[in-house]
Amino acid sequence: MTGPVATKPTIPVEAERTNWHIPAMLALALGGFGIGTTEFVTMGLLPDIAEAMGVSEPTAGHAVSAYALGVVIGAPVIAALCARVPRKRLLVLLMVAFTVGNAATVLAPSFATLVLARFVSGLPHGAYFGVASLAAATLAPVGQRAKAVAAVMLGLSAANVVGVPGATWLGQHLGWRDAYVVVALIGLATVAALLRVLPELTGIKTTNPITELGALRRSQVLLTLAVGAVGFGGMFAVYTYITTTLTDVAGMSLGLVPVVLMLFGLGMVAGNILGGVLADRGVDHAIFVAMIAMVVILVGFIAAAHNPYTAAVGAFLIGASGAALAPALQTRLMDVAADAQTLAAALNHAALNIANAAGAWLGGLVIAAGLGYTAPAAVGAGLAVLGVLLFTVTVWTARRTTH
């Protein structure tokens, strides 16, 4: 009598997973929308924050670094320490922490407390996306796990189209703190939505910290994370300096830059959807396609950046190729992590933030060396090539181990 009852919560009934759980997917994506908005809106508001806090703009950039550091630290720590917490409850707690961090940003009386608030805001980022991806994959129809992961990531992509431009405009016209008021409200709305429409996720087995940390002993997990940390850097090498590239190289007016940034975001949305479709047909194949496309697009952008029209198209394609990679990497990490899926999925976003920092740093180096604002695209292409080579080794190692 007790056997079937004990095993039922941990094993999804495949026959019942035939339809999309649309309300739950939207609730999970709403959280991603809020996280994506808060991650990137700070970059657009740096001059306003610097002036209000009485610091230089480079110093104000520490708020961006603090958020990224929170992501890198929070992803593995929260995923491991909260391994026993039921998944729905954990998602709600993560969004509560996210809301508190952004509310603290609004109320920060000094720059030091602002930096601390941004660090706290970043802590739930990786763990939320990791657990939300597992939840979506569990709720998805059979054979459509990657599409479900892409649906969660779609919130992050949509943030670059609507959330970031909207919050930036609001912050510039009403005061930078108001942008984070909006983000905190999105966090509250997500908490309410998760409580109301998200099932209990009994199909996801809770583990323990030791089991989750076992992901760090799996070579395929570490290699896949390295692919993301290296290969994704190509997109960020260009995106970090896109404004000056568009104005100084393409000859575009500053007023048109937000339009191109919106195109970049639309590219991310399109790439995210396409990446989910490709990954459901073959995860490894999807990663190869996305990374090779990124190499070709970044090489082409070196020439395309000299014309405003081709530069705009190039920005769209860069966003698309980068976003197409994300759901495939996330799905592969869940596949190779065995019983440590939460930590592996969360670490994906820590790796992407490392890519963000590395790409921006390397792009800045070549610009500082006097090589011009198209040089980051060349650096990005080089990083993408390294990513392809590293993933080739990763797949070869997996097949060799299997045989």
Same domain, 214 and 181: no
Note whether 352 and 232 are within 8 A (CB).
yes
Q: Is residue 2 part of a domain?
A: no
Residue 4 lies in a domain: no
Predicted pLDDT of residue 403: 60
Domain edge (last residue) among 171, 206, 241: 206
224 lies in the same domain as 168 = no
Q: Could you tell me if 100 and 121 are in contact, meaning their C-beta atoms sit under 8 angstroms apart?
A: no
Task: Specify the pLDDT at position 106.
Answer: 95
Nearest-angstrom CA–CA distance, 344 and 219 = 12
298 and 380 inside one domain: yes
Say what the pLDDT of residue 109 is. 94
CATH number at residue 238: 1.20.1250.20
Give the Cα separation of 28 and 196 in Å (integer): 12
Residue 171 lies in a domain: yes
A 10 A CB-CB count for 392 gives: 13
163 and 225: one domain?
no
Burial of 145 (0-12, 13-18, 19+ CB in 10 A): buried
Q: Is residue 329 part of a domain?
A: yes
User: Above 70 in pLDDT, residue 15?
Assistant: no
Could you tell me the end-to-end alpha-carbon distance of the chain, in angstroms, rounded to an integer? 40
- What is the token pair recorded at 297? 């697009």
3-state helix/strand/coil string of the chain: CHHHHHHHHHCCCHHHCCCCCHHHHHHHHHHHHHHHHHHHHHHHCHHHHHHHHCCCHHHHCHHHHHHHHHHHHHHHHHHHHCCCCCHHHHHHHHHHHHHHHHHHHHHCCCHHHHHHHHHHHHHHHHHHHHHHHHHHHHHCCCCCHHHHHHHHHHHHHHHHHHHHHHHHHHHHHHCHHHHHHHHHHHHHHHHHHHHHHCCCCCCCCCCCHHHHHHHHHCHHHHHHHHHHHHHCHHHHHHHCCHHHHHHHHCCCCHHHHHHHHHHHHHHHHHHHHHHHHHHHHCHHHHHHHHHHHHHHHHHHHHHHCCCHHHHHHHHHHHHHHHHHHHHHHHHHHHHHCCCCHHHHHHHHHHHHHHHHHHHHHHHHHHHHCCCCCCHHHHHHHHHHHHHHHHHHHHHHHHHHHHC
In a domain, 9, yes or no: no
Q: In percent, how much of the chain has pLDDT > 90?
A: 32
Nearest to 31 by CA among 137, 144, 158: 158
Asked if residue 8 is part of any domain, the answer here is no
Q: At what angle do helices 176-197 and 164-174 cross, to 10 degrees?
A: 140
Q: Give dist(CA 244, CA 70) in Å, integer.
A: 28
pLDDT at 4: 42
Q: Do 275 and 397 belong together in one domain?
A: yes
3 pLDDT exceeds 50? no
- Cα–Cα separations (whole angstroms), residue 118 to 13, 102, 182, 235: 41, 7, 15, 23
**CA distances (Å), origin 188, targets 100, 115, 125, 182:** 9, 22, 15, 10
Do both 189 and 53 map to the same domain? yes
Q: Do 188 and 261 fall into the same domain?
A: no
Q: How many domains does the chain have?
A: 2
Q: What pLDDT, in 10s, does the model give residues 156-185?
A: 878 878 888 888 788 878 888 999 999 999
Same domain for 338 and 229?
yes
Say if residue 229 is in the same domain as residue 121: no
Asked if residue 144 is part of any domain, the answer here is yes
Domain range for 341 is 209-403
Last residue of a domain, one of 155, 181, 206: 206
Q: Among 173, 206, 239, which residue terminates a domain? A: 206
- Separation of CA 287 from chain center: 16
Average pLDDT along the chain:
84
User: Residue 191: what residue type?
Assistant: V
The pLDDT of residue 221: 85
> Residue 7's pLDDT band (boundaries 50, 70, 90)?
very low
**Highest-scoring range by mean pLDDT, 64-68, 85-89, 237-241:** 85-89
Same domain for 260 and 305? yes
Question: 208 pLDDT exceeds 80?
Answer: no
Instruction: Check whether residue 232 and residue 194 sit in a common domain.
Output: no
Which range has the worst mean pLDDT, 28-42, 100-114, 135-149, 383-397? 135-149
pLDDT at 91 exceeding the cut of 80: yes
Is residue 13 situated within a structural domain? no
Model pLDDT, residue 384: 92
- pTM here is 0.76
Phi and psi of 144, rounded to 5°? -130, 35
Decide if pLDDT at 99 tops 90. yes
Whether pLDDT at 153 is above 90: no
Say if residue 11's pLDDT is above 60. no
Q: Are residues 226 and 168 in the same domain?
A: no
The tokens of 133 are what? 């991806």
CB atoms within 10 A of CB 43: 15
Rounded distance, CA 245 to CA 238, Å? 9
